[in-house]
Amino acid sequence: MKTILVTGARGQIGSDLVPILRQRYGFTQVIETGRQTIVSQENIQLTYEVLDVTDPQRLEELIEQYQVGRIYHLAGILSAKGEQNRQLCWDVNINGLKNVLEAAKAYDLQVFWPSSIAVFGATTPKFHTPQITIAEPTTIYGITKLAGELLCKYYADRFGVDVRSLRLPGIISYRNPPGGGTTDFAVEIFSEAIAKGCYTCFVRPETRLPMMYMPDAIAAIVDLMEAKSSKITVRSSYNITAVSFSAAELVREIQKHLPDFTCYYQPDFRQAIADSWPVVINDSQARTDWGWQHRYDLTALVKDMLEQLSPKSKVKSQERRDPAPPSGVYPYYPAKTGRMGTRAGMGDNNLISGVKPIEPDKILPLPGARQDSQKFLMPSF
């Protein structure tokens, strides 16, 4: 089997995907790459190479050196950081992807590339957003993701490149923080709740967005890449989602475990980005084509996040770092069969069964919330 190259391998998704890929395809079969030079002792035995994806020569060099057959192209600049550095966002997200697709054409590689719900904008239907719909993104990140989707489809249609993609929602995980996204609040809140007992959220409490727990995201990526080519009817990017919840609902769920947790709200420029994105995505095409199913709802993901981040389990997570057998990493489970534990129900948080949007004039005071625990700070802008 040819080797697998992962760009942006030490980012939020890469950190969780790489151990699963190594488990499935062999430890030495997976080459991690990133812009940083890794010097720490613990990584010496790993196959890690420095790669800036905007450098096509270096990319080709690595493809030849390691006989690469598949790339998970995860290197990218997220929405909030993109607004602060448009040039970098364009260079990495567009030129980096184009370099990968050119290499895929030349070396006959299979490619995974994450798109985002950010391809949608204010003119897109917010509820049950269809696979094919109006896409007028308002951020440079969204523009690069939309152009990237078109590039993927172009290389697939014109040159037969086997490129597969998902429009990822906000991804919640504990191993590595996302850094620079609009949905980051839904990750940061957990560590702050545990460490400090309070968090200042940069979006308003009623802000409701599509989200997914990392094990579901990993399962989706693995299953998509392993699906028969004939099953893949979308070569731009598949709508995909798991749950949809507001910041206030997330706070309330955390308070079930940490009753003294307090959330303050101080919306900043990321509020406008969040407001431009859909609330509920229709991902029926992915479910029909290659059997996508999510497993974690809000209750399950909050419970697991808090358990994993609690000081007791932190000790355990130190013991499970690469290159030891990835026994403690998120378990991969196939989407279609062999589910473990409680499956996410088609309950209140399930997107397909529909969410009940909170009307803005009904949000204060928050229904069912502890009156002393939902406080507003005035925005500083």
Which residues contact ligand AKB (rule: CB under 6 A)?
78-79, 116-118, 141, 168-170, 178, 181-183
DSSP state letters, 30-98: EEEEESSPP--GGGTTS-EEE--TT-HHHHHHHHHHHTEEEEEE-----HHHHHH-HHHHHIIIIIHHH
CB 306 within 8 A of CB 238: no
Separation between Cα atoms, residue 42 and residue 336, nearest integer Å: 36
Rounded to a whole number of angstroms, the minimum distance from the CB of residue 103 to ligand AKB is 24
Contacts of 348 (CB under 8 A, 6+ apart): 355, 356
Task: Pick the closer one to ligand AKB by CB: 48 or 112.
Answer: 112
Residue sitting closest to ligand AKB (CB): 181
174 catalytically annotated: no
Instruction: Choose among 208, 216, 174: nearest CA to 306.
Output: 174
Q: Name the residue nearer to ligand AKB (CB basis): 34 or 178.
A: 178
**Which C-beta is closer to ligand AKB: that of 13 or that of 103?**
13
**Burial class, 363, CB count within 10 angstroms (exposed 0-12 / middle 13-18 / buried 19+):** middle
- Of 162 and 192, the one with the shorter C-beta distance to ligand AKB is 192
Q: Provide the minimum distance between the beta carbon of 46 and ligand AKB in the complex, in angstroms, as a whole number.
A: 26
Amino acid at 168: L
Q: In angstroms, rounded to a whole number, what is the distance separating the alpha carbons of residues 279 and 207?
A: 9
Least Cβ distance, residue 140 to ligand AKB (angstroms): 11
**Residue 202: strand, helix, or coil:** coil
Q: How far is the CB of 357 from ligand AKB (least distance, A)?
A: 19
Instruction: For the CB of residue 278, give the shortest distance to ligand AKB in the complex, in Å.
Output: 10
Residue in 66, 141, 155, 296 annotated catalytic = 141
Residue 137 or 326 having the CB closest to ligand AKB? 137
Catalytic residue numbers? 141
